[in-house]
Amino acid sequence: MDDIVKQAMAKWPNVPACYGGLALDARGDWYMRDDRVQAAGAFPAVKGSRLVHDKLVDFIARNYASDDCGHWYFQNGPQRVYVELEATPVILRVEPAPGFAVSAHTGQLAQIAQLPQAAPAAQPATCLVGDDGRVYLLTDLGFGLVHTLDMTHAADAIEAGVWQPQPGAAAAFPARFGFVRRPQSLQKT
């Protein structure tokens, strides 16, 4: 987190949180959702304005985190801006063979974590293939969806035995891996 953000948090500790104003789609793009867009419909059916300003996108990426309850947010100075998630809190890019390096939509390199196993004797899993046909990885940065442009690299990693996929129910991933897609439920009216 940026030092200027930490200083603002210390100076103004009781700034109300913002809900619904920022969203992350399944391709790792950020969207601003003003009141008009929010009134027009839920994300991702109504996305809002895609952020393309490099410095703003980098600032959000550096100050993107989660709380203990699995709510992901962007710390904008003293204000916590909760993020709507189309899919997962992290969108992952995969490099081609032989390394299959993985990085997050925030630009950070990610390390693959071991998924919890149903049986202790089971071979350690490195990825999940959801019943939605998508490939997911648990990383040190959070649970993530592999970007659609990198599915060939993910398939190559699976074929090479680098990742051993296990099936999973995509609808159960938020509860299983501790993240919340729609943090508006926290909002006090």
The answer on 102 and 79 residing in a single domain is no
Flag whether the pTM goes above 0.85.
yes
Instruction: With cut-offs at 50, 70 and 90, classify the pLDDT of residue 175.
Output: very high
Distance from CA of residue 102 to its chain's centroid?
Answer: 14
The answer on 169 and 119 residing in a single domain is yes
Q: In this structure, what CATH number is given to the domain that contains residue 30?
A: 3.10.540.10
The answer on 122 and 135 residing in a single domain is yes
Domains identified in the chain, total number = 2
The answer on 83 and 116 residing in a single domain is no
Distance from C-alpha of 85 to C-alpha of 64, rounded to nearest angstrom? 13
Flag whether pLDDT at 187 surpasses 70. no
Strands (E), 95-184: 102-104, 109-110, 127-130, 135-139, 142-146, 165-168
The answer on 124 and 78 residing in a single domain is no
Give the max Cα distance, the chain. 53
Q: What is the pLDDT of residue 13?
A: 83
Q: Where are the alpha helices (DSSP H) in the chain?
A: 3-11, 35-40, 54-62, 151-159, 173-177
At 113, is the secondary structure helix, strand, or coil? coil
Distance from C-alpha of 128 to C-alpha of 130, rounded to nearest angstrom? 6
The answer on 79 and 22 residing in a single domain is yes
Residue 173: give the domain boundaries. 90-177
Q: What would the pLDDT profile of 27-84 be if each residue is shown by its tens digit?
A: 999 999 999 999 999 999 999 999 999 999 999 999 999 999 999 999 999 999 999 9
The answer on 9 and 80 residing in a single domain is yes
Q: What is the CA radius of gyration of the chain?
A: 17
Q: What is the pLDDT of residue 9?
A: 82
Q: What is the pLDDT of residue 115?
A: 58
Q: What is the pLDDT of residue 184?
A: 81
Q: What would the pLDDT profile of 9-24 be if each residue is shown by its tens digit?
A: 888 888 999 999 999 9
The answer on 170 and 98 residing in a single domain is yes
Secondary structure element (H or E) that encloses residue 91, with its range: strand 90-94
The answer on 77 and 53 residing in a single domain is yes
Mean pLDDT, residues 149-171 taken together:
94
Instruction: With cut-offs at 50, 70 and 90, classify the pLDDT of residue 136.
Output: very high
Flag whether pLDDT at 121 surpasses 50. no
The answer on 138 and 104 residing in a single domain is yes
The answer on 159 and 97 residing in a single domain is yes
Q: What is the pLDDT of residue 8?
A: 84
